[in-house]
A and B are shown apart, each in its own frame.
Chain A
Amino acid sequence: MIKKFIHQFASPKTYLFQVDRAYPYIFYASLFVYIGSLFWGLFLTSEDFVQGNSYRIIYLHVPASFISQSLYLAMAFASAIFLIWKVKLSAYLVKSIAPIGAVTTFIALVSGSIWGIPTWGTWWAWDARIISTLILFIMYLGLISLHDSFTDYEKADKFLAILVIVGSVNIPIIKMSVEWWSTLHQTASITVTEKPAIDASMLYPLFGSIIGFSGIVFCLVILSSKLQILLREKNKSWVKDYV
């Protein structure tokens, strides 16, 4: 039942057409939200008492680091679907998310280390969060190079999915172990279970920037998966019609 459902609605063709229709709406809406909340965060909120104006980097850093981890989760989810139900589309998705994840992790790393200069007095510390983000970055690059080194796409997809799943078991472990090791990073300002530790006037633009950035990254994933589909299915007749 589920298998039939997935196979029917997750064909690359329907995916491509649906996504093409939704793309402009998502893109412009999230661009509007992102730019708007960046403007709000950078100019309209008041200065932080402890960190001064440098705290404004939060509106760029937090969305990137949040997305970089969520993208890995999404990849793990897609690989599980691929390995269980052999859905081709989810293999394409895994492959296309990896470079986007690398980009967002890079953004998180760079913005975090620039933020560290005024607040911690150092641009790099062997600290829990930084190390686990760096490892995540290297894992993304490793995934990309694993897929690139096989010319046989079917094999490459399978190996990539296996590695993503094994890695996804390991990511919380890496995080926990490194945090157990040492930390300098402030704890998360927003968690699902607790009341946010920052003021509402700073919180709304932060939410806005997270949503907007997610939307933009989602658009990137759409573009990247479109590229994958065109690349892999270039011999199909509908692709020729589509282009």
Chain B
Amino acid sequence: MFNFAFDSIGEAFMMQSANGQYHGIYVWSVVFIVLTSLLVTFFIYKRKIRNIGKKIK
């Protein structure tokens, strides 16, 4: 259950499947999009809260 599916980082990046296709580009772009959109949303809200805090003060 806990065996690494890939042998090296390069392999994990390319993610070659059994049918020969490389799926790394899809998986990693989705990871990138999800994490950046979460980060950006957090950043925007933190900044807005800081701004309004300053204004109230």
Contact = CB atoms under 8 A, between A and B. Distances in A.
Query: Taking the complex as a whole, does A directly touch B, i.e. does some CB pair lie under 8 Å apart?
Result: yes
A162 interface: no
B5 A60 contact: no
Interface residue tally of chain A, by bracket?
35 or more
B5 A103 contact: no
Contacts of A73: none
Contacts of A91: none
Contacts of B45: 220, 223-224, 227
A56 B25 CA distance: 12
Interface of A: 38, 42-47, 49, 51-54, 56-57, 60-61, 64, 100, 103, 106-107, 110-111, 114-115, 117-118, 201, 216, 219-220, 223-224, 226-227, 230-231, 234, 239-240, 243
Interface in B1-27: 1-6, 12, 15-19, 21, 23-24, 26-27
Where chain B touches its partner, the secondary structure class is helix
21 contacts: A38-B31, A43-B5, A43-B6, A44-B1, A51-B17, A53-B16, A53-B27, A54-B15, A54-B21, A56-B27, A61-B30, A103-B37, A110-B30, A114-B26, A220-B45, A227-B48, A230-B56, A239-B56, A240-B56, A243-B53, A243-B57
B27 to A, nearest CB: 5
Nearest to A63: B34
Interface of B: 1-6, 12, 15-19, 21, 23-24, 26-27, 29-31, 33-34, 37-38, 41-42, 45-46, 48-49, 52-53, 55-57
A216 B30 contact: no
A53 B5 CA distance: 10
A54 B45 CA distance: 32
Given A60-B31, A111-B30, A227-B48, A47 B17 contact: yes
